[in-house]
Amino acid sequence: MNAIAQSIGGEAITTKLAMKMEDSLHAFAVRAACFIGELDMPYSEEFDGHDFGATHVIAYVGEEPAGTVRVRWFQSFAMAERLAVIQRYRGHNIGQMLLERCRKLAEGRGCNMLYVQALPGDVKYWEKQGWRRLVSEEASSGAKRIVAMIKAVDPSKPLPDVEAPESIVLRPEPQLDSTGLPRGSASN
C-alpha cells in the first residue's frame, strides 16, 4: 500500500470530525462539488436526510477542505459513505486517510466491520484499499448500480466468508414524507 502523503505543496494534510455547523458545511461543500458538480447527481440523492444522524470526517490541506466521508453507525458495523475528494487533491491518498480515520473511529466504538456500497467503476479502488465484495462478482453482475463491500475493523481478525441476500444488503433507504414518516405508511 502506498504511503499517505502528509502534505501537499508544503500544506499539511489533516483530518478532523465535524463538531460544529461550519465543519458540517465544509463536508457538504466538498460533497456538492464532487457529486452534484462533477457527477451530475441530483441534490435529493446526495443529501438524503441521514446527514445529521451521521459522523462526518473532513480532510484539510492547510485550511482548505479537500475531502470528506460520512459514517453511519449500526449495531456491529459502521457504514462509510459519500467518500469525496476535491479533484485537484486526488492522487495524494486523502481518501485512504479518511477511510483509516473511519476504521479507527469504528474500532473505538466496538464495531467489527466497515461496510460500503461502491459504484461498479470504483470497486478496484476499494479492493486496492483491502475491501472485499460481500456478494461474489458472479452474483453481483448485471445492471446493478452499487456493489456491497466490507472490511474488517481489526485486520488481525479477518471476517468470515459471508454472503447476504441482495434484498437485505442492497435495500434502498425508505423515502420519507414531509412529516418524517416513510412514504406509503399509515399515519396516526
pLDDT at 107 (0 to 100): 93
Task: Quickly state the pLDDT bin for 166 (edges 50, 70, 90).
Answer: very low
Query: Reading across the β-sheet that carries 64-73, which strands appear in turn?
Result: 7-8, 11-17, 55-61, 64-73, 77-85, 113-118, 147-152, 132-133
Name the pLDDT band for 178 (thresholds 50, 70, 90). low
Helix and strand tally (H, E) in the chain?
A: 5, 8
Cα first-last separation, the chain? 54
Average pLDDT, integer, range 144-165: 76
Write down the pLDDT at residue 49.
84
Intervals of CATH 3.40.630.30 along the chain: 7-70+78-111
Stronger pLDDT, 76 or 145, i.e. the higher one: 76
CATH class for domain 7-70+78-111?
Answer: alpha beta
Q: Taking all residues of the chain, what is their mean pLDDT, rounded to a whole number?
A: 83
Residue with cell 466496538: 110
The CA distance from 18 to 39, in Å, is: 24
Using one digit for the tens of pLDDT, what is the confidence trace for 62-73? 999 999 999 999
Nearest Cα to 155, choosing from 137, 129, 133?
129
If you average pLDDT over residues 73-93, what whole number do you get? 93
SS3 label, residue 127 = helix
According to DSSP, the β-strands at 77-85 and 113-118 are: parallel
